[in-house]
């Protein structure tokens, strides 16, 4: 019997599958993430860790977990985990790819529509009693149909967003590592720039002040990838200056974003609390993939969904 520490309650019956396999499961049930001290303490005698994207798994944490021989990340990415340190200790790391593609793509396109048509402002106006001020030029937004959508990183999610854009009659451009336009060309041509790249040393602050300056003043930035892909200080400056028309973010750096963070003072901005995969079916499917990874590793088999 192995001991598995799970850093949040999971939807579906994934945790019961671990118990049914004969393992002891320790689930952190508090509403907030386990503090660093708790992680260090709970991992001291754990054989496997099922963690969230917000749990930092670094060399110090791994050194405090001498029995650990499996890490399953409840996310498609693994930038919260020191993969090199895990490999050096022979600890496999798994992720949950594929199942969140369409849910995240749906949200990305929802953000495109929301920022273009000023939906949060309209909803706030109704609740604030401002509807009586209606006039032909009130709360005018931008057309999404016939606009140009620039996809940065056309993997699974980027391709799914592209299909949605084509369904709306958009012209779709893309920039990838080995195909499509250069990033500079895409930024100069797109009415909506949607980010779908992993967070790596090469993509950190990929969208910086220089990149934002290349965008049209009427263009919008959409980020459902990772917060660190965007230089948030530069984005705030661009929004305040009117250098771009607006931005809609489902991811920030850090997460959660403090309510007094300077970025939140910027105009024409939508920020969501990382809801890309937040549907009942998707989150349950992610839990199943994470548990599949744990069970395989504890059984001495390769994880079916390893981090790369």
Catalytic, out of 255, 280, 283, 301: 255
Q: Active-site residue 142, yes or no?
A: no
Distance CA 175, CA 181 (A): 5
Dist. CA 151–CA 222, nearest whole Å: 10
Task: For residues 51 and 48, give the distance between their C-alpha atoms in angstroms, rounded to a whole number.
Answer: 10
Determine whether 226 is an active site residue: yes
CA distances 237 to 148, 208, 247, Å, are 24, 11, 12
Spell out a b/e string for 16-34, using b for 16 or more CB atoms within 10 Å of the CB, else e. ebbeebebebeebeeeebb
Helices (H), the chain: 14-20, 36-42, 59-63, 83-88, 101-116, 119-127, 156-167, 183-189, 209-214, 232-241, 280-298
Euclidean distance between CA atoms 97 and 77, whole angstroms? 8
φ/ψ of 100, rounded to 5, equals -100, 5
Whose tokens are 């607006």? That residue is 246
Three-state DSSP state, 102: helix
CA distances 150 to 161, 167, 183, 280, Å, are 10, 15, 9, 29
Catalytic residue, candidates 118, 226, 283, 305: 226
Q: Is 255 a catalytic site residue?
A: yes
Please provide the DSSP assignment of 104-158 as one string.
Answer: HHHHHHHHHHHHHTTHHHHHHHHHTT-GGG--TTTT-----TT-EEEEES-SHHH
Q: Single out the catalytic residue among 196, 274, 283, 305.
A: 274
**Catalytic residue set:** 226, 255, 274
């Amino acid at each position: 019997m192995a001991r598995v520490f799970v850093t949040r309650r999971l939807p579906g019956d994934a945790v019961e599958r671990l118990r049914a396999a004969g393992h002891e499961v320790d689930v952190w049930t508090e509403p907030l993430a386990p503090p660093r001290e708790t992680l260090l303490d709970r991992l001291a005698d754990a054989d496997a860790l099922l963690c969230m994207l917000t749990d930092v798994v670094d060399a110090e944490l791994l050194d405090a977990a001498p029995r650990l021989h499996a890490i399953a990340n409840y996310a498609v990415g693994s930038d919260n985990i020191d993969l090199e340190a895990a490999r050096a200790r022979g600890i496999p790391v798994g992720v949950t790819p594929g199942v969140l593609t369409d849910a995240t793509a749906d949200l990305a396109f929802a953000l495109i529509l929301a920022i273009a048509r000023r939906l949060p402002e309209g909803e706030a106006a109704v609740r604030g009693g401002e509807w009586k001020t209606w006039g032909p030029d009130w709360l005018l937004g931008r057309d999404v149909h016939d606009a140009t959508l620039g996809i940065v990183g056309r993997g699974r999610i980027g391709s799914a967003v592209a299909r949605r854009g084509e369904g709306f009659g958009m012209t779709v451009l893309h920039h990838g590592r080995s195909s499509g336009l250069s990033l500079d060309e895409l930024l100069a041509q797109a009415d909506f720039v949607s980010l779908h790249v992993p967070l790596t040393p090469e993509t950190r602050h990929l969208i910086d002040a220089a990149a934002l300056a290349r965008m049209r003043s009427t263009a919008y930035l959409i980020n459902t990838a990772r917060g660190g892909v965007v230089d948030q200080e530069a984005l705030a400056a661009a929004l305040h200056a009117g250098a771009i028309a607006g931005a809609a973010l489902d991811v920030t750096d850090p997460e959660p974003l403090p309510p007094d963070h300077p970025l939140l003072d910027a105009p024409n901005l939508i920020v969501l609390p990382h809801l890309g995969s937040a549907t009942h079916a998707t989150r349950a499917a992610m839990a199943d993939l994470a548990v599949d990874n744990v069970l395989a590793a504890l059984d001495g088999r390769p994880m079916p969904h390893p981090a790369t």
